[in-house]
Amino acid sequence: MIYKFGGASVKDADSVKNLAEILRNRLRKNLIIVVSAMGKTTNGLESILAKKLQSEDFSENSANLKTYHEAICRDLFPPDHSVFAKLDNLFHQLENDLQKKLTPENYDEFYDQIVSFGEVISSRIVAEYLCSQELIVLWQDARAVIHTDSDFRFAKIDWTKTRKSCQSEWKPLLENFPILTQGFIGSDPKGKTTTLGREGSDFTAAILATSLDAGAVTIWKDVPGVLNADPKLFQNTKKFDELGYAEAAEMTYFGASVIHPKTIKPLANAGIPLYVKSFLDPEAAGTKIHEQASAHQVPTIVLKKDQVLVSFKVTDFTFIEEKHIHRVYEQLQTLKLRVNMLQLSAISISIVIDTQLFKLERLMANLREEFEIRYNDGLELLTILHPIVADIPVLLQGFEVLLEQASRNTFQVVRRKS
């Protein structure tokens, strides 16, 4: 069994105490607990990197991050506890690594070395706290078993090697103790730290589940389960008691943030059920994602923010042909940009992509000679699965629509607050 606790479930001392209560009756051998960085730590580390890249002073940001973790520890531990020395040590290492040279060229590699501290620190604190509550867990470094390539920030899993390490190194440990480890991080063939993409801890849980033939994965969230819309953005949401793997995967594809998009596939292939449960109401059933779930037609709303609409217009008075599409896709692939929506007209290709540092500039630079390129940023991509047509106008009230696409089962618009 794998449990995954995300940033929100360890965001403060009370949350860590709550996590311990959830584990109190559930802790057993063969259990792996995967934790993310605490609260918004990853964003905090990203801001430090952004400042460093601009040669701005980031000392206040790193001091805040340290204060934040120390405050949590002061609430969880007596003042003479050894966790404080460990924390000092980790922040010392972080400060030291932050002194190294950062350029746009080594940004991705540098990013992984820095951002991974969030998970390492969090897992240390949580493991120490559990042990202090007589909930004995073994702290293990995920980088010892999660093997990836060297595609920093978007590292791909070496499944064979990962399975081998999990089986030889962790399986024997799990026969005696539960393991507590980090999500999101791995290591490349040289032993350098890599990360699996933002919010990748869910994926870690799935990787460990398949590599250890686990019976189930549970993701503990601040929502009652998988809902048909984000309750922070929409009213009258409905929880799914169960969902098929394909339906869940489709929702994540369009941007449902409740589960990381890469999580479903390995679990579906291995037939391992995924539970999404509330850490605020641990006894409640949540959502079970598995093969046999009955189909539903419940309208499901997914909103993806920070989108850019880019249009490529042919400049030579020809029409859009396959070669033009090919050229654009080739560049997107090189830059590892995924198209969230595509629309073709006679003379232009329009794509919607996530906003990512440097990427749009590079894309435009690489294709400037062949196309006239325009873009609009700060957009939202709204996807409705199984839409009820009459309900759509309400969702667009107060928004300007830049692009729209409908098929029988899916309705998508790119919108901007008007």
> Considering the complex, what minimum distance in angstroms separates the CB of residue 229 from ligand ASP?
21
Residue 42 near ligand ASP by CB under 6 A: yes
Please report, as a single letter, which amino acid is at residue 167: Q
**Binding to Mg ion by residue 194, rule CB under 5 A?**
no
Residue 122 vs 348, nearer CB to Mg ion: 122
Smallest gap from Cβ 274 to ligand ASP, in A, equals 15
Q: Which residue, 36 or 252, has its beta carbon nearer to ligand ASP?
A: 36
For residue 200, the partner it binds in ligand ASP, Mg ion, none, with Cβ less than 5 to 8 A by kind, is ligand ASP
Of the pair 27, 259, the CB lying nearest ligand ASP is at 259
Residue among 18, 36, 204, 263 that touches Mg ion (CB under 5 A): 36
Number of residues near ligand ASP (by CB under 6 A): 12
CB 377 within 8 A of CB 355: yes
Per-residue x/- track, 214-243, ligand ASP (CB under 6 A): ------------------------------
Which among ligand ASP, Mg ion, none contacts residue 225 (Cβ within 5 to 8 A by kind)?
none
Q: Which does 184 bind (CB under 5 to 8 A by kind): ligand ASP, Mg ion, none?
A: ligand ASP
How far apart are CB 47 and ligand ASP at their closest, in Å? 13
Nearer to ligand ASP, 91 or 111 (CB): 111
On the CB side of 321, CA atoms within 13 Å amount to: 7
| Residue in the shown chain whose Cβ atom is closest to ligand ASP | 201
Specify the stretch interacting with ligand ASP by CB under 6 A; choose among 34-42, 94-102, 360-368, 374-382. Answer: 34-42
Q: Should residue 39 be labelled a site residue for Mg ion when binding is judged by CB under 5 A?
A: no
Tokens of 22: 């959830």
Of 36 and 181, which has the nearer Cβ to Mg ion?
36
- Interaction between residue 201 and ligand ASP (CB under 6 A): yes
Cβ at position 215, least distance to Mg ion in Å: 25
SS3 labels along the chain: CEEEECHHHHCCHHHHHHHHHHHHCCCCCCCEEEECCCCCHHHHHHHHHHHHHCCCCCHHHHHHHHHHHHHHHHHHCCCCCCHHHHHHHHHHHHHHHHCCCCCCCCHHHHHHHHHCHHHHHHHHHHHHHHHHCCCCCEECCHHHCCEECCCCCCCCECHHHHHHHHHHHHHHHHCCCCEEEECCEEECCCCCEEECCCCCHHHHHHHHHHHCCCCCEEEEECCCCCECCCCCCCCCCCECCEEEHHHHHHHHHCCCCCCCCCCHHHHHHHCCCEEEEECCCCCCCCEEEECCCCCCCCCEEEEEEEEEEEEEEECCCCCCCHHHHHHHHHHHHHCCCCCCEEEECCCEEEEEEECCCCHHHHHHHHHCCCEEEEEEEEEEEEEEECCCHHHHHHHHCCEEEEEEEECCCEEEEEEEEC
Structure tokens at 291: 């093969």
In the complex, least distance from residue 280 CB atom to ligand ASP, rounded to whole angstroms:
18
Report d(CA 36, CA 49) in Å as an integer. Answer: 19
Q: Which two tokens stand for residue 345?
A: 């007209």
Residue 7 makes contact with Mg ion by CB under 5 A: yes
* Residue 261 engages Mg ion in binding (rule: CB under 5 A): no
Residue 411 touches ligand ASP, criterion: CB under 6 A: no
Decide which of ligand ASP, Mg ion, none touches 156; Cβ closer than 5 to 8 Å per partner kind.
none
Q: Which is nearer to Mg ion, 7 or 224 (CB)?
A: 7
184 forms part of the interface with ligand ASP (CB under 6 A) = yes
Residue 278 found at the interface with ligand ASP (CB under 6 A): no
**Candidate ranges 24-32, 59-67, 197-205, 341-349; the one touching ligand ASP (CB under 6 A):** 197-205
Q: Is 38 exposed, middle or buried (0-12, 13-18, 19+ CB in 10 A)?
A: buried
What number of chain residues touch Mg ion (CB under 5 A)? 2
Which residue among 36, 162, 340, 348 contacts ligand ASP (CB under 6 A)? Answer: 36
For ligand ASP, what does the binding mask look like between residues 135 and 174, x meaning CB under 6 A?
----------------------------------------
Where does this chain touch ligand ASP (CB under 6 A) — which range of 198-206, 237-245, 262-270, 307-315?
Answer: 198-206
Distances (CA, A) of 5 to 8, 184, 313, 410: 8, 12, 46, 31
Residues that bind ligand ASP (CB under 6 A): 6-7, 36-37, 42, 118, 183-184, 198-201
